[in-house]
Amino acid sequence: MQKPLILVTNDDGITAPGIRKLTEIMNSIGEVVVVAPNSPQSGKGHAITINSTLSLEEIFLDGPQRDFSCNGTPVDCVKIALDKVLTRKPDLVVSGINHGANSSINVIYSGTMSAAVEAGVEGLPAIGFSLCDFAYEADFSQAEEFIKKITLNALNNPMPKGIVLNVNIPKLNKEEIKGIKICRQANAKWEESFDERINPHGKKYYWLTGYFNNMDEGDDADETALANGFISIVPVKFDLTAHEYIKDLEKTMVI
């Protein structure tokens, strides 16, 4: 039987420890091709490159997989992989392991999750993996066994087209992780607070900063699961329609 073809990408860049660990795990499951950004692309959301050009280079890193480095966004990487690198449709697209959480509202800012969502748009099964530890030297080995099991499970239990998984792993030792919980995206947001500074030429400039505000204590919310020591898995789709509000809007939006 042919091994499953797995496309790996991320938003922290192709040399980040998180994607190297994910590649190693996927090598134990299937034939792996990595197409990932050549520089950090955190917070790039679903951005695509339309006003400038893209480069794509094969590079040679340890392991049996092939690695391609692209100067675009995570979504660009998925698109160019499907059009220019892979000779058949991948059986799975995985993104990550992200250095830092992509739970709750972060799903819309995250390049890691946007790559997975783009795979969903293409009708491919996809999973974004994130570890709730922003450190470059984060310990991804604790998550290895869970990531392998979740991946095998997703390969063996096909999801409906257009649904992808957002997997967040708490920063805990393996034996402290209580299991997995299927969740919904928590209602949370970043309260922005720009750090205003003066440059050497006397002009103001700003750094985006802020704090995370979780407004959701629901048992079924991903933030709750993570806080309680569980891995959270949110099924994610790309239909942004507020279907439940269509009828009401039809009544009020009369022009």
- What is the footprint of a copy of itself within residues 72-91 (CB under 8 A)? 73, 75-76, 79-80, 82-84
DSSP annotation of 174 reads G
Q: Which of residues 209-238 bind a copy of itself (CB under 8 A)?
A: 220, 233-238
Stretch that binds a copy of itself, among 12-20, 22-30, 90-98, 155-163 (CB under 8 A): 155-163
Residue 141 or 153: the one with the smaller Cβ distance to a copy of itself is 153
**Which stretch of DSSP H or E encloses residue 192?**
strand 188-198
Residue with Cβ nearer a copy of itself (32 or 150): 150
Is residue 89 within 8 Å of residue 6, measured between CB atoms?
no
Q: Which helix (H) or strand (E) holds 98?
A: strand 92-99
Kindly tell me which of 7 and 150 has the beta carbon lying closer to a copy of itself.
Answer: 150
For residues 77 and 41, give the distance between their C-alpha atoms in angstroms, rounded to a whole number: 11
Q: Which residues contact 251 (CB under 8 A, 6 or more apart)?
A: none
Binds a copy of itself (CB under 8 A): choice among 129, 140, 146, 230: 146
C-alpha–C-alpha distance, residues 27 and 10, integer Å: 16
Binding mask 93-132 for a copy of itself (x = CB under 8 A): ------------x-xxx----x--x---xx----------
**What distance in Å separates the CA atoms of residue 185 and residue 106, rounded to the nearest whole number?**
9
Minimum Å gap between C-beta 134 and a copy of itself is 11
CB of 64 to a copy of itself, least distance (A): 25
| Residue from 3, 89, 149, 174 binding a copy of itself (CB under 8 A) | 149
Residues numbered 11 to 70 that lie near a copy of itself (CB under 8 A) are 40, 42-51, 53-56
- The residue within the footprint of a copy of itself, chosen from 92, 97, 150, 169 (CB under 8 A), is 150
Instruction: Please tell me the distance from the alpha carbon of residue 93 to that of residue 50, in angstroms, as a whole number.
Output: 23
Considering only 184, 212, 214, 227, the residue that binds a copy of itself (CB under 8 A) is 184
Quote the Cα angle for 138-192-185, to 5°.
60
d(CA 223, CA 206): 29
In this complex, which beta carbon is closest to a copy of itself, that of residue 121 or of residue 227? 121
**DSSP-based three-state secondary structure for 135:** coil
